[in-house]
């Protein structure tokens, strides 16, 4: 009778095939969206909104959910206060859940704008129940507007934002339009290689993915900031309002709106710039929250999506969108099974050739996005794709943990992404008390880099050069995560503050010297 050991090669082959199949579907999905963009998205610009007289303009409430944002909150409020819209029809609510000096700063800023006649108020809760979703739900009953615009703390909306979004709601035939999402721009994409790679990834999502999904009639997500909602859509009983049972309350609400018969509109030509995380650990925390929240939304709504009377392509597109972060467990499992396969004398490189046929999707998607945004410099920007691939590979462990928690319902804290008001290379975040400490996860990433290197060495010793080169991508990706994390932690280690030789008055806030 054969032992279980005899079945091990077949089991490894099965796991390997499942991983490659999932990754191939991911690449095919990216290619599918790119082709849709070419066929429909780039050839079908959004209709020009009608211009309305002041008397016909509706009341609008701008909600700014913040938590410990003293570096950027003044910039945010100033931008929203200068929106080009009649003052008597504009209300601004600052939803402040802060527990640091941000609260006092917000009070001072709001008082200043109230003195200038702006309808602006701060709303504070006794407890952060539900985190961002809870804050938005808590403030909605006191909102005066028929439309609710939302901006996170790291965004700077242009003054024309309401002029370019509201008329779409009021245009003929748009009674079912539930939300309008603008494209995210980048305040600091040239700060470092890390921010430039993040900009490359975000551009691909907004320019190609969001445009293609909307043009094809597929459901797509509200991105949590730089968008505006029809209030009756949020309050529709079949939608259910803001809910805090996922960490992506924005994606959850937008999909529930689609399922209830509402539509979304993406405006790719309206850019709202935001600040990209400059600290690697902040970026990883952001990715963790997005990955976990997306999978939580998938678990919550997959049944409704499958049984909804959408065409099959729409249901497949929705499931692929909600399950996009499942790629990271596949990447990690692919690495883990490769070493025992190589040790058993199995060459995993042959199936990789089939995967490469589908892996053209993401590079093409990013190239199209850069060419659309930067016609003269797109190739130089797109050349960072290999580094972005290493970052994506290195995120596999971080995001796999997030996916596991999302699928199993474990963990639930909303961990904010710190913002530092970093715009140029002259700005620094290393002394801020918001900087994140180095987590123990870096040890596991270093161990995975060594694991991949050992597998690559073993493959090379057996003449499996294709497998060895593929595994070196894992080595570099996890090594990059661990190395950059440690280097930035060393940069931001506690040091005695140097004497400030300046005549500009400064205020000591939580151990930092901030200019008044």
Give CA 450 to chain center in angstroms.
Answer: 29
Distance CA 21, CA 261 (A): 33
Q: Which residues contact residue 350 at a Cβ distance below 8 angstroms, ignoring those fewer than 6 apart?
A: none
Q: Specify whether the backbone of 259 is left (phi greater than 0), alpha (psi in -120 to 50) or beta.
A: alpha
Q: Is 264 helix (H, G, I), strand (E, B) or coil?
A: strand
Distance CA 320, CA 313 (A): 10
Q: Which residues contact residue 330 at a Cβ distance below 8 angstroms, ignoring those fewer than 6 apart?
A: 18, 19, 22, 23, 26
Q: Which of 96, 154, 250, 252 is catalytic?
A: 250
Distance CA 431, CA 420 (A): 10
Give CA 418 to chain center in angstroms.
Answer: 14
Here the tokens at position 155 are 């965004």
Burial of 308 (0-12, 13-18, 19+ CB in 10 A): middle
Active site residue 154: no
Q: Which residues contact residue 376 at a Cβ distance below 8 angstroms, ignoring those fewer than 6 apart?
A: none
Here the tokens at position 113 are 């704008």
Distance CA 423, CA 15 (A): 45
Is residue 339 within 8 A of residue 462, CB to CB? The reply is: no
Is residue 92 within 8 A of residue 118, CB to CB? The reply is: yes
Integer-rounded Cα Rg, in Å, for the chain is: 24
H/E element, 185: strand 177-186
Here the tokens at position 414 are 């909303």
Is residue 147 within 8 A of residue 228, CB to CB? The reply is: yes
H/E element, 3: none
Q: How far apart are the first and last CA of the chain?
A: 80
> How do 147-150 and 120-123 pair as beta strands?
unpaired
Q: Which of 97, 152, 154, 252 is catalytic?
A: 97
Q: Per-residue DSSP letters for 176-212?
A: TEEEEEEEEEESSTTS-HHHHHHHHHHHIIIIIIIHH
Active site residue 250: yes
Distance CA 81, CA 62 (A): 10
Catalytic residues: 97, 250
């Amino acid at each position: 009778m054969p032992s279980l050991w005899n079945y091990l090669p077949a089991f490894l082959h099965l796991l390997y095939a499942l991983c490659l199949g999932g990754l191939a579907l991911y690449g095919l999905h990216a290619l599918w969206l790119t082709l849709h963009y070419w066929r429909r998205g780039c050839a079908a610009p959004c209709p020009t909104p009608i211009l309305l007289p002041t008397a016909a303009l509706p009341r609008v409430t701008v909600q700014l959910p913040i938590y410990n944002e003293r570096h950027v909150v003044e910039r945010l409020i100033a931008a929203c206060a200068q929106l080009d819209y009649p003052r008597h029809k504009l209300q601004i609510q600052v939803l402040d859940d802060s527990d640091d000096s941000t609260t006092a700063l917000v009070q001072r800023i709001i008082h200043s704008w109230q003195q200038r006649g702006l309808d602006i108020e701060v709303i504070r809760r006794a407890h952060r129940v539900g985190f961002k979703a809870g804050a938005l739900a808590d403030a909605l009953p006191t909102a005066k507007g028929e439309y609710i615009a939302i901006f996170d703390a790291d965004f700077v909306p242009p003054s024309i934002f309401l002029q370019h979004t509201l008329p779409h709601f009021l245009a003929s035939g748009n009674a079912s339009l539930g939300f309008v999402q603008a494209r995210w721009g980048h305040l600091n994409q040239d700060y470092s290689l890390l921010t430039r790679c993040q900009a490359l990834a975000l551009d691909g999502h907004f320019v190609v993915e969001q445009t293609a999904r909307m043009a094809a009639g597929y459901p797509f997500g509200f991105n949590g900031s730089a968008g505006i909602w029809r209030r009756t859509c949020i309050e529709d009983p079949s939608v259910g309002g803001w809910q805090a049972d996922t960490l992506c309350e924005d994606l959850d609400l937008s999909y529930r709106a689609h399922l209830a018969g509402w539509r979304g509109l993406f405006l790719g030509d309206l850019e709202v710039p935001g600040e990209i995380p400059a600290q690697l650990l902040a970026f990883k925390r952001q990715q963790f929250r997005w990955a976990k929240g997306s999978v939580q939304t998938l678990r919550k709504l997959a049944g409704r999506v499958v049984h909804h009377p959408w065409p099959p392509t729409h249901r497949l597109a929705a499931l692929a969108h909600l399950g996009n972060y499942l790629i990271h467990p596949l990447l990690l499992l692919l690495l883990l099974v490769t070493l025992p396969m190589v040790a058993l004398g199995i060459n995993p490189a042959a199936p990789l050739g089939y995967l490469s046929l589908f892996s053209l999707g993401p590079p093409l998607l990013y190239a199209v996005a850069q060419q659309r945004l930067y016609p003269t410099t797109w190739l130089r920007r797109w050349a960072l794709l290999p580094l972005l691939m290493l970052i994506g590979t290195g995120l596999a462990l971080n995001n796999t943990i997030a996916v596991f928690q999302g699928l199993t319902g474990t963990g639930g804290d909303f961990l904010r992404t710190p913002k530092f008001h970093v715009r140029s290379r002259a700005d620094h975040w290393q002394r801020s008390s918001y900087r994140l400490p180095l987590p123990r996860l870096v040890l596991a990433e270093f161990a995975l880099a060594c694991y991949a290197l050992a597998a690559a060495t073993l493959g090379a010793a057996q003449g499996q050069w294709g497998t060895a080169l593929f595994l070196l991508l894992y080595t570099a990706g996890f090594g990059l995560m661990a190395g950059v994390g440690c280097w930035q932690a060393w940069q931001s280690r506690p040091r005695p503050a140097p004497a400030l030789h300046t005549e500009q008055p400064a205020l000591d806030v939580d151990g930092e010297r901030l200019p008044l």
